[in-house]
Amino acid sequence: MEIAIDLGKWKSYVVMEDNGKIVKEGYAETTKNGFSTFFGRVNNPKIIVEGSSTTNWIANMFEDYDITVAHPAKVRLIA
């Protein structure tokens, strides 16, 4: 399971993908509880976030997960 997060100040856009298929997408409150509620129970997800001033905060929040920080310019090219 891969989870991509486009961080926003109050709400973040989240896409959950499993084996190349989107299983869930939408907005989640940008809090630990908001993300946990949106994700539900997920085993060993890989979390991908765009590098920004909030990267440390999100990395600390998900310290038990495999987190990848993506370069902002390259994320736009991929999208």
Domain span at residue 71 reads: 2-78
Query: What is the CATH number for 25?
Result: 3.30.420.40
The per-residue DSSP string of 8-61 comes to -SSEEEEEEEETTEEEEEEEEESSHHHHHHHH-S-SS-EEEEE-STTHHHHHHH
Give the number of domains in the chain: 1
For residue 16, the cross-strand partners are: 3, 24
Whole-angstrom distance, CA of residue 67 vs CA of residue 6: 14
- Contact assessment for residue 39 and residue 3, using Cβ atoms and an 8 Å cutoff: yes
Confidence band of 70 (pLDDT split at 50, 70, 90) = confident
Confidence band of 78 (pLDDT split at 50, 70, 90) = very low
pLDDT in tens, 5-39: 988 889 999 999 999 899 999 999 999 899 989 98
